Chains A and B, each alone.
Chain A
Amino acid sequence: MRPASGVLAASIAGLLVASSALAGGFLIASESNPDLITHPDGYTGSGGEVEVTLCIDPASANAAAMEISVRNIATTINDLQAISPNLRSGGNNNIPSGNFDFESVALHEVGHCIGLAHPNLGSQSGVTSTNSTNAGNGANNVFNEDDGADNVFGSADDVRGDDVNLHWFRVADNNPFVLGSIVDVSTYSVELGDLPGGDLFPANADRTVGSSIFGVVGTEAVMQQGSLADEDQRQWAADDVAMLRLGMSGVDEVQGTADDYTIRARYAGLTTACDVVLRFDNAATGFARCSVSGSSINTDHFQITSATASFNTGFNWFFNDVLATEGLVFSDGFESGSTSAWDSVVP
């Protein structure tokens, strides 16, 4: 039942205050509203195609160098493919040692700019176990850091006390490295009571969780916080795609209904007139960030209304010069000419 408008306004006001910080599977979700879903700019509750334009501030440093990466990011969003493995480092990529891959970092930031948050707690939580699954710190205002018997933070046996889960998990198996055909509230939940028997907390798509717990090597959610030099991660993992598709199930959160939408990302060129503006701005960030403004669709759904991804010039950035082709996404290095990962690809 929808609340009366006055109640709705008050609820949203409370939500707005509580949600100025980054949170769980979706930006703007918080301990006071953990199942809130944030949608890209342009989605207002009606189904159909939502166009998300990406552009580069023409006054930005590296404006020309960013173009191929931003085009590729639009392609990655449109392909909506979960790739495993999606991490390449050292000799397996074309990034010089000590460089940060702009396309990978920018994909992460654009992910924020279209509504996604970190699967893990990340640095903003102030904890040492930053790979723990994203949550609010609960009534005691302290994050509970206990990695359980497997000694892996972010896995299903973490003991999290009164922490409030913010991470949507697969009800069937709590495995963030698997993507099913149906992604909506019938298959995903934030309620701990929906976890499979024996699981204590949602597992997240951290690389160590993948390799140690699920036997998935070289794979991590793009939205997992923490960039490394000399590593590329230019393709979504299953958890990233799941969160995007969960959003696409619309405000009724049911896949296959009239309010479902698809995202069509488009590079809008060197301009600031678009949905997601990318620029280098050393005052805004010491490395990379995305800030967004949003408005409510209802108490559980927000849409982003503007977004800016900022980057800092004080790093050796590698700008990919290989333009990706839509619909031709491979996990085996085919498009880059690398055969190093071919033997790990399951046909």
Chain B
Amino acid sequence: MRQLGTRRTVGKAPEDAVRRASLRATGSVLVALLVLLPAAASADAFTLPENGEVVRYQRVLGEIEHADPGPEVILYADGRVLVRRPEYMRGPGAWQARLAPAALEEIVGDLVASGLVDADVDALRARRHDLERLRAEAAARDGSAVIYAVGDPDRSVVTLRLAAYTPFGDLGGASLGPVERTWEWSDLYGDATRFPEIRELAALHRLELRLIGWIDAQDLEAVNQ
């Protein structure tokens, strides 16, 4: 069993300019990740950017009619968390908080370890579609056809920026960098809940829940504009 603490990091950036990614996981996080990760998806290395945005998230609200589609959260490399709420929300404007470097690495590490960075979103949608079809066929056979539908789902838009990243599994070997990935998913909440076996979606949803926590937070510091 591979120890997360021995993860190899990659990247050519200067030592003093790059924070090596290591999870420094707590026991509970370690257990959680080991449960979530199939053996084939053993995590490989990533390097956070020296500065700038690491994670950008927007919750595009389905039922709101407004030019501003929804709140945003940005996690910066220096640990700053920027929250922007539209004018139609409570506590509108820009707010900030701080995130410990280890926590940022943990957040990104969970995403990377899920295999999401290597995943083709269209393939994920196809997998969800296949799972839904299999369930539907089984349900139709036993006469218990059940369908799921949602009105006014949100659309989750997540962008991840890494200074360097080494794909794992069959894609492993060469280091990539810098890497930027954007995922858009409608009804992430519903799909992650209904298809927990799609570990990439589960990881994206765990990230979303953490980011939503900042959107909801009432103890943030106002950013002077």
Contacts and interface: CB of A to CB of B under 8 A. Distances in A.
Q: Which of A14, A27, A113, A287 has the most CB of B within 10 A?
A: A287
B152 A290 contact: yes
Given A124-B186, A289-B153, A292-B149, A10 B71 contact: no
A217 B85 CA distance: 33
Interface string B99-127: 00000000000000000000000000000
Interface string B130-173: 00110111011101111111111111000000000000000000
B145 A12 contact: yes
A315 B62 contact: no
Given A21-B149, A28-B147, A16 B139 contact: yes
Interface string A206-226: 000000000000000000011
Given A17-B132, A124-B186, A314 B216 contact: yes
A90 interface: no
Contact of A123 (B60, B85, B89, B148): B60
A25 interface: no
Contacts of A112: 151-152
Contacts, number: 163
Given A123-B60, A284-B189, A289-B63, A314 B149 contact: no
A13 B61 contact: no
Interface residues of A, number: 52
A38 to B, nearest CB: 8
B155 A124 contact: yes
Contacts of A22: 149-153
Contact of A225 (B69, B141, B152): B152
B209 interface: yes
Contact of A13 (B85, B129, B133): B133
Contacts of B209: 283
A169 interface: no
Nearest to B137: A13
Contacts of B45: none
Contacts of B2: none
A295 B71 contact: no
B145 A16 contact: yes
Contact of A286 (B133, B150, B154): B154
A261 to B, nearest CB: 20
B64 interface: yes
Contacts of B139: 13, 16
Contacts of B89: 314-315
A14 B135 CA distance: 11
Contact of B190 (A9, A228, A291, A294): A291
A32 interface: no
A74 to B, nearest CB: 19
A16 B152 contact: no
Contacts of A105: 63
A98 interface: yes
Contacts of A228: 65-66
B212 interface: yes
Contacts of A17: 129, 132-133, 136
B155 A225 contact: no
Contacts of A289: 62-63, 150-154
A285 B145 contact: no
B203 interface: no
A20 B132 contact: yes
B65 A226 contact: yes
Given A9-B145, A229-B88, A313-B216, 5 more contacts: A9-B143, A12-B136, A294-B146, A296-B140, A315-B88
23 contacts: A16-B132, A16-B147, A19-B147, A20-B148, A22-B153, A28-B149, A100-B88, A105-B63, A124-B155, A228-B66, A282-B216, A283-B189, A284-B189, A287-B64, A287-B154, A288-B152, A291-B150, A291-B151, A293-B147, A295-B144, A302-B147, A314-B215, A315-B90
Give me the 4 closest cross-chain CB pairs, A-B, nearest first.
A226-B65, A112-B151, A16-B136, A9-B140
